[in-house]
Amino acid sequence: MRYAKPALVIAAVAGVLLLNRYEHQQTRRRIDELAASMKHEAPAPIQVPPAGAVPLELSHVTLPPYVIDPPDVLLVQVLIRDSKKNTTTPLPVQDVSGQFVVRPDGTVGLGYWGSVSVGGLTIDQAASAIRAHLTKRDGWPTGAEPPVVVLDVLAFNSKRYYVISTNAEGTQVHAFPQTGHETVLDAIAAVNGLPAGAANGTITVRRRTATGEQSLPVDWAAITQHGVTATNYQLLTGDRVVVTLGR
């Protein structure tokens, strides 16, 4: 009997050691499974377009002359100039000065002076069209010089890009006017950043070109955490910045 107690102790210790070994093996197995799962789910490297293929934050392109279309808002002022006296005066009958919305048919209404078609024209072309229209209207002062037409775009409403975010609850669409050199970073800033889940999602710029559709992947972490601009694309009219949020 004096040897029974040590034997029981040895058996207990052996059992504990076996249990610890089993638990260690199980823990090791779970760690390996988790590592394999993470490796399997790791996103594929983002394919950056070749240098010069698309305009970027640091290599943007200058846009062509702006083409007026509905529903842009124009700022127009028309004056009659007397070069002999070196003076300018407003139009008779009804002054033309202020903001004018381009109608759905591409015209602007100038009150007494009628409507002028400006849709599809550049700023300089629209100013010339208004100038030519006024001199042919009844009420134009006989012998007066061609009017001085000052025209600019106050609201660029016809040229837009879109930010489209999709998650399990649905899709949200935000439209913004294209005014110059907006980039992907500007677009996301315009919607006050990305919500939770964005880190596990994707961002892609969808662009329609003459040869088809371009799909430009965005490396959001590189842009925001490392200042890498290779996928901070300059946005063009009609671009869709598609944000698919992870769960």
pLDDT tens track for 22-79: 565 666 666 566 555 555 455 566 777 777 789 999 999 999 999 999 999 999 999 9
pLDDT in tens, 123-156: 999 999 999 999 999 888 888 899 999 999 999 9
Lowest mean pLDDT segment, chosen from 29-43, 93-107, 225-239 = 29-43
SS3 75: strand
- How confident is the prediction for the chain on average, in pLDDT? 85
Question: What CA–CA distance (Å, rounded) separates 105 from 241?
Answer: 29
Of 81, 56, 91, 68, residue with least CA distance to 232: 56
Asked if pLDDT for residue 183 goes beyond 70, the answer is: yes
Lowest mean pLDDT segment, chosen from 38-42, 178-182, 197-201, 214-218 = 38-42
Averaged pLDDT for residues 79-93 = 90
160 near 238, Cβ under 8 Å?
yes
| Domains in the chain, CATH or no CATH each | 73-155 (3.30.1950.10), 160-244 (3.10.560)
Q: Which residues, including other chains, have CB under 8 Å from residue 236's CB and lie 6 or more apart?
A: 55, 161, 178, 207
SS3 198: helix
238 near 209, Cβ under 8 Å?
no
- Distance of CA 150 to CAs 39, 58, 139, 220, Å? 63, 33, 20, 43
Q: What residues form DSSP beta bridges with 37?
A: none
**φ and ψ at 246, to 5 degrees?**
-80, 170
Angle at the Cα of 200 from the Cα atoms of 168 and 48, rounded to 5 degrees: 120
Question: What CA–CA distance (Å, rounded) separates 28 from 22?
Answer: 10
Name the DSSP letter for residue 238: T
Lowest mean pLDDT segment, chosen from 30-34, 180-184, 187-191, 194-198 = 30-34
90 near 80, Cβ under 8 Å?
yes
Question: What CA–CA distance (Å, rounded) separates 130 from 122?
Answer: 12
Asked if pLDDT for residue 160 goes beyond 80, the answer is: yes
Lowest mean pLDDT segment, chosen from 40-49, 98-107, 164-173, 180-189 = 40-49
Lowest mean pLDDT segment, chosen from 65-69, 75-79, 158-162, 192-196 = 192-196
**φ and ψ at 104, to 5 degrees?**
-55, -25
Question: What CA–CA distance (Å, rounded) separates 157 from 101?
Answer: 10
